[in-house]
A and B are shown apart, each in its own frame.
Chain A
Amino acid sequence: MTAAVRSKAAPRTGVDWFLTFMRVGLSFFFISGVIMFVLQQIDPQNPIAQVFNPDATGLTADQFEGLIISGLSQGAMYGLIALGYSMVYGVLGFINFAHGEVFMVGAMTGMITSNKLEEAGLWEDAFFVSLVFIILVAIVCSTATAVIMERVAYRPLRGSPRLIPLITSIGVSFLIQNISIVLLGPGAKAYPSLPDWLSQKRTVLFLEVEGTKLMVILVAAISMAGLWYLVERTKTGRAMRAVAEDKEIASLMGIDVNRTIVTTFAVGGAMAGVAGILWGILFRSVIHTTGFLPGIKAFSAAVVGGIGNLGGAMAGGLTLGSAESLAPLMVLEPWGINGVSQLRDAVAFLVLIFVLLVRPTGLFGERLSAEDRA
């Protein structure tokens, strides 16, 4: 389906030329931005670095480090959410647009539970127990949301034209956001403050890392390892992989396809729930639209890593998180664009478009199910 393959057989049309132009242009934009940035880091007075942005100062090592760490911690969350997109895509071949909302449900339940715990005085005193508790509650709620979603909205539509479940999932996303508004109110809600010993900086190897971000990365890594074990080493995981490969054959082999699909949604939901708590801990604020942008970005991460590929989803998440954190300063600022922090979200979409234009199968290759290959 890619233009690159097609152009060998068919004559190049105007659209092909335009796409080539876009590919080359975007690559040039990214690469020369980075080159200018590097030159600037070497010598701020370098004439090439000053072409577009005369008063640039470059970044200090501390700033750079901080950007990478925050990029990675956000990327770890994107990766966790992206797993849900990727797994559902692998099994059903459709993008569950409402997955970002599952993540939002996790963050919301975490907010409610942690505030209740704080009222009871447990949050500061027994932080780790409380944390494990809110993660468990969030996992339960997110999993329930994902499973109900599948049962009510997607199962009846299995086998209908491709557009239909996609539009339904947009409706589901819209509905969950608005349920949150009418039940919990439209304003942003805060998580209780974290204990001081957690949020202070500490040195790991040679990097100075904020304790919170370190914890986010650690929890994400543990969840990812758990998921990997589930998918690659257990019977359930083998069933999931079999269903992703070919539903009919899998059912002939004695696999309960419906149950496996539900399990997939549940596991994806659980990962999103964990990510929701991490989001709450990192940003300490949650609102009904919390799920929207991270959801879209996590989808982008899944595409960047190659959709249907679980390791790719995590790697894509980390790539996208770092790109989003670094690119405004490394690529846009050398081009003389001001107010770059406002364009963070635009960068994430730009990366998605770029990857789809240049390598639609993602950086780490796509694991396609049989229906897609046909």
Chain B
Amino acid sequence: MSAPMATNETLPARAALDQEWRKVVNHGLLLALVLVFVSLANMPVSLDSRMIIEPMLSMGYLSLLWIPVVMGFIVSSEKVLEGIAYHAKGAREVLAGGLVGLIGGLGLSLLVVLIDNFDLRDPLVNWSPALLDLLQFGNGIGFGVIIWPVLGFGLGVFGGALHIFTAMTRTIVGWVLGAVLGIAVFETVIIDLLTERLPFEFITDWFYFIRGGLSQQGAVTAALIGGGLGYLRVLAQRGVVPTPVQDYKQLVGPERTRANTIIIITCGVATAILPLLLGRITNELLANVGLFVLLALGLNIVVGLAGILDLGYVAFFAVGGYATAILTSPNRGDSWPDWVPQSHWFAALIVVILLAILTGLFIGAPVIRMRGDYLAIVTLGFGEIIRLLFLSDWLGGYTGGAQGVTNIPGVDLGFVEIKGTDPRAIFYLVAVFCAIAIYVSWRLEKSRLGRAWMAIREDESVAEAMGINTVNVKLMAFVVGAVLASFSGAIFAAKVGSIFPTSFIILVSIVILVVVIVGGMGNIVGVIAGAAVLIGVLGGPKQPGLLAEFSEFKLLIYGALLIFMMLKRPEGLVPNVRRTRELHQEEFLQDAWLRSQVDADEQDGAPSGEVAPA
């Protein structure tokens, strides 16, 4: 065993050892629980058809195998505060990881034995022979019982060993795994991009197996590419190779503006060209992502900038969708008087905007003075009321009730008609509106109104004392968010051609909230990235994503992701600088205090690195 942990020096040796053991056992039991849960959730079986590396690794096995690695890593990682030395890692950490993996594997062995001997299929629907067969790797029961502890130990050792690797090795290992997984997951998009219009079949033939999944030579190539990129990254960190991102961050003034312009133009051109190269399915995917980007940008203004948790956001989406449908479809409810015309999509859009503003004011005004938590539930109530009204017989003559509104025409631009059946055209339409939304969000964030929103988010009373009319400013956030959501609703109506109340359940609000939070509250790039990753890869509430096999589990993952982000990284993947500071105020203060202590000690001549934890 290597040197004892810094924090344990004050403890008697026996107690320290007990503590370590308890940590290992706790993590091991947690791992066992997670593995059994994942198995009983049927993830291994239903994801087994999706191959990552043919014929060695399927996504089903991967759903089990990654967990021991992570747990083996976590068990010996520790929080290092500013000013405390990071203690050296050694064989002890590797062993701890291995033991954790061993306990987890024993949990799965137990499950194998239990499935073999008892039938609990009544409450647990996935307690099936298929699961047993998969857990035994198709061999006998004895193999299944023995293989999991061995596998768990091995993976746990790998997880623990990540601590003793040098930073360089760790980076490269990460990149290799990321590249293999990424190239496997984005299979549909890559094949579509390279073969639909471009003549690069030889690349995809090299990488992919015919029936899906990476071929073995493809996996090796992907690993090499990943390793190469990882090595470049290491060199960049050491300053050997120039890093564009670092250079960009150091730019100031007009140079930065110029760089921004170049980036924006590149992105715009890419957005314009990309759909031409892609096929139907991928364009459909992009159009769905675009719709959610639009929704998420709107919610980002409400939640991210103004700090109002609006859970009934889907109401505005519904208003936009229904208003467009009713104004453009010949097949709307029969109770409408004749003077409500059947109009063009753009004419309907004007009405949609007006209605969205009205709805925003109507829902916003009663809730604007409520406490944050009341506001959340009351807006949720409004969202539900609006859906129930659209569904009810009472308004059925206008909204079609459960049958909804069908036969919604596309958007006639004069020279071309954008129909829902042409995902490429729909994507261009969505992209235009996203561009508008991005511009509006960006300008608003820098405006007086945007600063007022952020002031309210930080402290409403102080903002009011500074002379901000909090009521009007918050209402503005509601209205702007409502209009953006109604755009999305209008495009959605034209895209799907028929809308029903079931498209506007509360789930949609929550999925948009997850997108905004995972991406990064208050950050436009973050929100777009969040929508692309979550909606594009996992899929929306009803829309399938790249991993169509995940559709049973995506909501489970969304829920877990929401909790995880709130606990570990509330600022999101692409954080907004100011929001991060607000959310981690205490840590910033603590760090500052510790730093001042270290400085003081250094002046006293004491060696740094031995400051007691706060």
**A183 and B556 contacting across the interface, CB-CB below 8 Å:** no
Stretch at the interface among A15-23, A60-68, A197-205, A266-274: A15-23
A184 CB contact (under 8 Å) in B124, B374, B510: B124
User: When A1-B369, A346-B385 are in contact, do A183 and B562 touch as well, CB less than 8 Å?
Assistant: no
Which chain B residues lie closer than 8 Å to A183 at the CB level? 37, 40-41, 123-126
Which residue from chain B places its CB closest to the CB of A2 in the assembled complex?
Answer: B369
Stretch at the interface among B66-74, B283-291, B375-383, B411-419: B375-383
Stretch at the interface among A49-57, A159-167, A226-234, A275-283: A159-167
Which chain B residues lie closer than 8 Å to A175 at the CB level? 556, 559-560, 562-563
**B393 and A339 contacting across the interface, CB-CB below 8 Å:** yes
Instruction: With both chains docked as a complex, state the minimum distance between the C-beta of A105 and any C-beta of chain B, in angstroms.
Output: 13
B471 CB contact (under 8 Å) in A13, A159, A166: A13
The total of interchain contacts (Cβ-Cβ below 8 angstroms) comes to 170
**B366 and A166 contacting across the interface, CB-CB below 8 Å:** no
User: In whole angstroms, what is the CA distance A350 to B369 when docked?
Assistant: 17
A 161-204 to B, binary, CB cutoff 8 A, 1 in contact else 0: 11111111011111111110111110000000000000000000
**B510 and A170 contacting across the interface, CB-CB below 8 Å:** yes
User: When A94-B373, A183-B40, A339-B393 are in contact, do A157 and B566 touch as well, CB less than 8 Å?
Assistant: yes
Which chain B residues lie closer than 8 Å to A349 at the CB level? 378, 381-382, 384-385
Instruction: With both chains docked as a complex, state the minimum distance between the C-beta of B362 and any C-beta of chain A, in angstroms.
Output: 8
Which chain B residues lie closer than 8 Å to A165 at the CB level? 566
B307 CB contact (under 8 Å) in A112, A163, A174, A179: A163
B377 CB contact (under 8 Å) in A162, A299, A345: A299
B247 within 8 A of A: no
**B125 and A184 contacting across the interface, CB-CB below 8 Å:** yes
User: In whole angstroms, what is the CA distance A156 to B586 when docked?
Assistant: 14
User: In whole angstroms, what is the CA distance A266 to B314 when docked?
Assistant: 34
A 293-311 to B, binary, CB cutoff 8 A, 1 in contact else 0: 0001001100100000000
**A18 and B365 contacting across the interface, CB-CB below 8 Å:** yes
**B309 and A167 contacting across the interface, CB-CB below 8 Å:** yes
Residue among B126, B361, B388, B472 having the largest count of chain A Cβ atoms under 10 Å: B388
**A342 and B41 contacting across the interface, CB-CB below 8 Å:** no
Interface secondary structure of B, over-half rule: helix
User: When A345-B388, A353-B381 are in contact, do A15 and B365 touch as well, CB less than 8 Å?
Assistant: yes
B394 within 8 A of A: yes
**B41 and A153 contacting across the interface, CB-CB below 8 Å:** no
A296 CB contact (under 8 Å) in B307, B380, B513: B380
Which chain B residues lie closer than 8 Å to A161 at the CB level? 582-583
User: When A94-B373, A356-B370 are in contact, do A163 and B309 touch as well, CB less than 8 Å?
Assistant: yes
User: When A15-B471, A338-B394, A357-B366 are in contact, do A170 and B385 touch as well, CB less than 8 Å?
Assistant: no
Residue among A94, A176, A178, A350 having the largest count of chain B Cβ atoms under 10 Å: A178
A317 within 8 A of B: no
Which residues of B are in contact with A by a Cβ distance under 8 Å? 37, 40-43, 122-126, 307, 309, 311, 361, 365-366, 368-374, 376-378, 380-382, 384-385, 388-389, 391-394, 396, 471-472, 475, 506, 510, 513-514, 517, 552-553, 555-556, 558-563, 566-567, 570, 582-583, 586
